[in-house]
Amino acid sequence: MASVSATGPATVDEAWARYADPRRWSDWAPQIVSVRYAPERLEVGARGVVRAVLGVQVPFTVLAVAAPDWSWRVGVGPLRVRLDHTLEAVEHGCRARVVIHAPRLLVAPYLPIAWVALRRLVG
């Protein structure tokens, strides 16, 4: 397990709006090219597919939603990762944090990518 956070000028409501609509994820997450997801907003139990760089497609399931926090499971078989996202108001903006539950070998290379995505989310 590991975590990363970033702080920026966006309000919690602005950052939550970017999280809550999976069709917007590619606007701020450089590792995501597109998302296939039927509901318009995050819903517990809903499933979708993230298309990442290099054409990689990864299924996901939304596990919990309690705005402005949410969790999802990404991957298949033994390569499943749980990500718990939180937003909190800070002076002059908000802080986004993600806790990543996965083997260290999977998490370590993803942390810098996650940090860039969170910076863009709250920027």
pLDDT digit string, tens, across residues 23-60: 999 999 999 999 999 999 999 999 999 999 999 999 99
Check residue 11 and report its DSSP letter: -
* Residues in Cβ contact with 43 at an 8 Å cutoff, skipping those fewer than 6 apart: 62, 65
For residues 49 and 58, is the Cβ–Cβ distance under 8 A?
Answer: yes
Question: What does the pLDDT look like over 59-86, one tens digit per residue?
Answer: 999 999 999 999 999 998 888 999 999 9
Q: What is the pTM of this model?
A: 0.94
Residue whose entry in the numeric block shows the structure tokens 């999802």: 72
